Amino acid sequence: MKILLTTLHAKYIHASLALPYLKAATTEIPETQTVIREFTVNEARSVILREILAEEADLVAFSCYIWNIELIARIAADVKKVRPGTLLVAGGPEVSFSAEEFLLENCAFDYVICGEGEKSWQEFLVHLTKEAAASYSALPAGIAYRSKNGPVPGQERAAIGNLDEIPSPFALGLVDTSKPLVYYETSRGCPFSCAFCLSSREKGVRSFSLARIRSDILYLIRNEVQVVKLVDRTFNYDAGRANEIWNFILAHNRSSTFHFEIAADLLTDENIRTLTKVPAGMFRFEIGVQAIGKETLARVGRTSDPDLLLAKVQQLTEQTGVTVHLDLVAGLPGEDFSGFLASLERLFPLNPQHIQVEPLKVLKGSPMVKIAAQEEYAFSAGPPYTILRTPYLSFEEIGHIEEISRLLDLYFNSGRFRSSLYTVARYLALTAFFNTMAYFIKKESATGQISLKNLFELMWRFGVGMLPAEAGNSFREALCYDFCRGEYPATGLRPSFFPEEWKSASESLNRNTIDSVLTKVEKPFGSRVRTFTASFSQDYRFSPPKSGQVDLIFIYISASGQGLRVEIFSAPPAALK
Ligand code: SF4
């Protein structure tokens, strides 16, 4: 029997973990041959369909998530029309908790694997190789199916007690480690029960053994995976265990970045001491703040203390080199628009690298569905089930929050406007700045794609109107610096606020200075090098900027396939012509 395991990622850079797990769990079943094919939601549906059919599999299993379920449903329907004899199976969080409903609405599918897949999948394939494919007798637990009389739910299956029983897909070489982002997990389950999250369905946490974790991590490090994204729901649920793994990575890592989802309030002093040893950028922490209002948090069953959580975040940003990403969910029970702004307001002073704001999603199978019904929330019927109106937020306010979220991505999370926002924050609260900017952007009809130059122009026009008159010059200078450190300011392409007197480096610096700076820069063969220089009243290379006049030389190195690299040096005194 030929089996095709497939999924559609949100982005090309992602490598599946679920499919290699399933393949690893079934390598020893005789008379089966399993192939993995990974696509993205951005590929043409007809191309994906052709490639799936070209595999001529007897069974096609789809790994379903909120971002791919609609496309998968359409592709599966077409597969069944072209090859009615192909068995179609769905699994993953988007179908696990509503399997009967899914089978009812998607008649192309024959089976749904509910919940944790490896054991169910392994027993299911054994069953299929022994029984006639159409027989439902003695189907293993955890499999929902379509009978003549309609969908039948699967029997409950206990979670796998010892996770080490699941063969490592890394040890078997089944994960595509050439992708820039590889998913990995050291544990399953979450100790918390937030009503809006599907992880609240599973009680307790199970960990792989430390021996297994060390071996998998070494494999990822040796393969020089660019980003290892751990999908553990709360990686540091056990502070001692987290410390051991972090120390192991610190001792062995070569060049990989490790991304963890953590609960900041659980960090111990010993954890912080360990994290002070982390080189800048090696670890990224994603921390769910979600909301600050204690009553709101209590209503969704979140037990974290927001004050303690924020204090720990501050320790992280002040004392360690960890990159900090904070999440907020807008629209939780009891939080209105001013409550949302108050939550956002508490995050900026902590200096995180990213702030992600998302309107609440009422996920199928989550306890939030019941709360939403009781409180008469309106939310989208299809993925991603985003709220449309709540008793606390109007449709317009939710749209406005989405615009603030987009501006945060463009201006704050991109890191492109670091110096300009630092200058803004000296005069205004950033929450008020982004809130008002969202209205301005709407008025300017700039709600679609915005070019980089226009992003700077909009920031200038909006900022100079918001800030007090005495801030104008320093704001302009900071914006110019931010532009120069990301893009070569070619004549004609410079934003309108650039000082007219600024020239290219070759015009303003003596030749010896340029030559001596260029010797310090690594230039790949065939690369193009351009230079630019400008005088600033502060040195924006530092955070906060160092006061005092400085002449900066920007070196722009571009090589095909490598993007643009910018290096910045201070010009020695008397280097200017
Ligand atoms: S939101 Fe985070 S902490 Fe809460 S249940 Fe989900 S994974 Fe656990």
Residue with CA at minimum distance from ligand 1 atom 2: 233
pLDDT tens digits, residue range 261-303? 999 999 999 999 999 999 999 999 999 999 999 999 999 999 9
Measure the CA angle with vertex 401, ends 443 and 362; round to 5°: 140
Domain range for 267 is: 177-389
DSSP state of 401: H
Residues 346 and 479 reside in one and the same domain: no
Provide the token pair at 32. Answer: 């089966």
Identify the helix (H) or strand (E) that includes residue 229: strand 227-230
Residues 494 and 507 reside in one and the same domain: no
pLDDT tens digits, residue range 458-514? 999 999 999 999 999 999 999 999 999 999 998 888 899 998 777 655 566 667 777
Q: What is the mean pLDDT of residues 163-176?
A: 96
Q: Is 236 in the pocket of ligand 1 (CB under 6 A)?
A: no
> Is residue 205 in a domain?
yes
Asked whether the bond before 384 is cis by omega within 30 degrees of 0, the reply is: yes
DSSP state of 408: I
User: Given the CA of residue 304, which atom of ligand 1 is nearest to it?
Assistant: 3
> Is residue 401 in a domain?
no
Q: Is 287 in the pocket of ligand 1 (CB under 6 A)?
A: no
Amino acid identity of residue 292, one-letter, is I
Instruction: Using the mean position of ligand 1's atoms as its centre, give its distance from the Cα of residue 234 in Å.
Output: 7
What pLDDT shows up at residue 135? Answer: 66
Per-residue confidence band for 573, with pLDDT thresholds at 50, 70 and 90: low
Compute the CA torsion angle 509, 510, 512, 513 (nearest 10 deg). -30
> Is residue 94 in a domain?
yes
Q: Is 40 in the pocket of ligand 1 (CB under 6 A)?
A: no
Is residue 132's pLDDT more than 90? no
CA atoms of 424 and 405, how far apart (whole Å) = 18
Cβ contacts of residue 572 below 8 Å, gap of 6+?
A: 513
What pLDDT shows up at residue 107? Answer: 96
What pLDDT shows up at residue 462? Answer: 97
> Is residue 101 in a domain?
yes
Per-residue confidence band for 576, with pLDDT thresholds at 50, 70 and 90: low
DSSP state of 189: S
> Is residue 167 in a domain?
no
pLDDT tens digits, residue range 55-66? 999 999 999 999
Residue 259 is part of a domain; what is its CATH number?
A: 3.80.30.20
Q: Reduce the DSSP state of residue 453 to 3 states and report it.
A: helix
Residues 212 and 286 reside in one and the same domain: yes
What pLDDT shows up at residue 509? Answer: 67
Test site for ligand 1: of 185, 187, 192, 265, most ligand atoms within 8 A of the Cβ: 192
Residues 435 and 561 reside in one and the same domain: no
Closest to 119 measured CA to CA, from 28, 32, 22: 22
Runs of H (alpha helix) within 44-142: 45-54, 69-82, 93-96, 99-105, 118-130
Residues 195 and 275 reside in one and the same domain: yes
Determine contact, residues 168/216, Cβ cutoff 8 Å.
yes
User: Given the CA of residue 288, which atom of ligand 1 is nearest to it?
Assistant: 2
> Is residue 554 in a domain?
yes
Instruction: Using the mean position of ligand 1's atoms as its centre, give its distance from the Cα of residue 201 in Å.
Output: 10
Residues 141 and 195 reside in one and the same domain: no
Amino acid identity of residue 255, one-letter, is S
Compute the CA torsion angle 78, 81, 87, 88 (nearest 10 deg). 30
Instruction: Using the mean position of ligand 1's atoms as its centre, give its distance from the Cα of residue 86 in Å.
Output: 37
Average pLDDT across the chain, whole number: 93
CA atoms of 19 and 175, how far apart (whole Å) = 9
Question: Which of 498, 513, 529 marks a domain boundary?
Answer: 498
pLDDT tens digits, residue range 426-455? 999 999 999 999 999 999 887 778 888 999
Q: Is 291 in the pocket of ligand 1 (CB under 6 A)?
A: no
Which range among 122-131, 417-426, 446-455 has the greatest average pLDDT?
417-426
What pLDDT shows up at residue 324? Answer: 98
Residues 527 and 568 reside in one and the same domain: yes
Question: Which of 444, 467, 498 marks a domain boundary?
Answer: 498
Residues 141 and 263 reside in one and the same domain: no
More confident of the two residues 148 and 435: 435
What pLDDT shows up at residue 508? Answer: 63
pLDDT tens digits, residue range 325-365? 999 999 999 999 999 999 999 999 999 999 999 999 999 99
What pLDDT shows up at residue 523? Answer: 83
Q: Is 219 in the pocket of ligand 1 (CB under 6 A)?
A: no
User: Given the CA of residue 190, which atom of ligand 1 is nearest to it?
Assistant: 8
Residues 286 and 197 reside in one and the same domain: yes
Instruction: Using the mean position of ligand 1's atoms as its centre, give its distance from the Cα of residue 361 in Å.
Output: 14
CA distances from 246 to 197, 236, 249, 253, 553 (A): 26, 10, 5, 10, 38
CA atoms of 362 and 350, how far apart (whole Å) = 29
Residues 137 and 217 reside in one and the same domain: no
Q: Is 200 in the pocket of ligand 1 (CB under 6 A)?
A: yes
Test site for ligand 1: of 193, 197, 266, 300, most ligand atoms within 8 A of the Cβ: 197
Instruction: Using the mean position of ligand 1's atoms as its centre, give its distance from the Cα of residue 475 in Å.
Output: 40
Phi-psi region of 92 (alpha: psi -120 to 50; beta: other; left: phi over 0): left
pLDDT tens digits, residue range 198-250? 998 888 999 999 999 999 999 999 999 999 999 999 999 999 999 999 999 99
DSSP string of 288-318, one letter each residue: EEE---HHHHHHTT----HHHHHHHHHHHHH
Tally of domains in the chain: 4
Q: Is 360 in the pocket of ligand 1 (CB under 6 A)?
A: no
Instruction: Using the mean position of ligand 1's atoms as its centre, give its distance from the Cα of residue 364 in Å.
Output: 16
Is residue 185's pLDDT more than 90? yes
> Is residue 544 in a domain?
yes
What pLDDT shows up at residue 445? Answer: 83
**Percentage of the chain surpassing pLDDT 90?**
82
Cα end-to-end distance, the chain, whole Å:
76
Q: Reduce the DSSP state of residue 378 to 3 states and report it.
A: strand
Residues 282 and 374 reside in one and the same domain: yes
What pLDDT shows up at residue 469? Answer: 94
229 forms beta bridges with 183, 259
What pLDDT shows up at residue 513? Answer: 78
> Is residue 465 in a domain?
yes
Question: Which of 475, 498, 521 marks a domain boundary?
Answer: 498
Sheet of 354-359, strand order: 14-15, 181-184, 227-230, 257-262, 283-290, 323-330, 354-359
Q: Is 194 in the pocket of ligand 1 (CB under 6 A)?
A: yes
Residues 478 and 565 reside in one and the same domain: no
Determine contact, residues 109/81, Cβ cutoff 8 Å.
no
Measure the CA angle with vertex 226, ends 223 and 232; round to 5°: 95
